[in-house]
Amino acid sequence: MKNNNINTVSNSPFTMMGPIELRQPIPSQKIPRVDPFLLLHHYGPYSISKDQNPFELGAHPHRGFEPITFLIQGEQKHRDSLGNEQVIKSGGVQWITSGKGILHAEGPTKEFVEKSGELEGIQLWLNLPRSKKMMEPNYQQADLEQMEFVSFDGGRITVVAGEQKGSLGVIKTQTPVNAFWVDIKQGAETFIEIPSSHQSLVYLIKGEVEINNSQSLKYGEDAMVVFDQDGDGFQIKAKESSKLLVLSGEPIDEPVVMEGPFVMNSRRETYQAFIDYQEGKMGVL
């Protein structure tokens, strides 16, 4: 198996989303996007309690892409204009296909706030092609217990979406996409298979690893690697017990206009999205 060459290595700088401080490796100065992935926010860990709850996001709209939440620890409640009301727990994923428009709200559950705890997760924006930007919206959720695993000596790969070594993700995707958790103990190593048609990246959640026996990633320093499309995947070796998010997908290669909560192909389309939202055409919560 041939390793994909490393294209870019970047840290994960802090940014503000309103009153919330979080890490944002995409978009950044070094990595504006990794087609089809538009944005990656790593939020938390936040200490949640009755006296402190910084992560309560009220109703807001989306159109033209897929906002996805991978929950690392804690509990979050999701509500949307399709009538879904679900709780996502540690290791789970909520995968929203906003399509022509959806409203949703999210935040820690009341029970979690009452008992207190740590909240941490990844918010990912995955682009949709022009042909699917105005499709009917959809919501999928999967708990950790529903997902398939690939075990190896000293770790495991959780297949959220796509395929890895014969194991399939429970999430159904609109475009060819892989999303994996990798949990790996110190000294262990594994090869992650990636189709040559995919753009791919690794984001380090915690710990320290070596990629392709050459590039070290350490949480809080260089935390993301983006690869070229010139091999069969890449090698990961843990210098200490680590957790990583692996993403890959076929590039869409279309114009991208991101305006607030909307991602379309032109400014005219994002302007229309704001009008449609104001006129109530994206539903109510």
Answer yes or no: is 106 a known binding residue: yes
CA distance linking residue 70 with residue 104, whole number of Å: 16
Question: Radius of gyration of the chain from Cα atoms?
Answer: 18
Q: Are 25 and 224 in contact (CB under 8 A)?
A: yes
Give the chain's end-to-end CA distance (angstroms, integer).
Answer: 49
Pairing relation of β-strands 215-218 and 199-211?
antiparallel
Was 104 annotated as part of a binding site? yes
- Tell me whether residue 60 is annotated as binding: yes
Structure-derived torsion over alpha carbons of residues 211, 212, 216, 222, reported in degrees to the nearest 10: -50
Q: Say which residues have a Cβ less than 8 Å from residue 220's Cβ, sequence separation at least 6.
A: 12
The label of the residue with tokens 């939440």 reads 69
Annotated binding-site residues for Fe cation read: 60, 62, 104, 106
Feature table: binding site: 60, 62, 104, 106
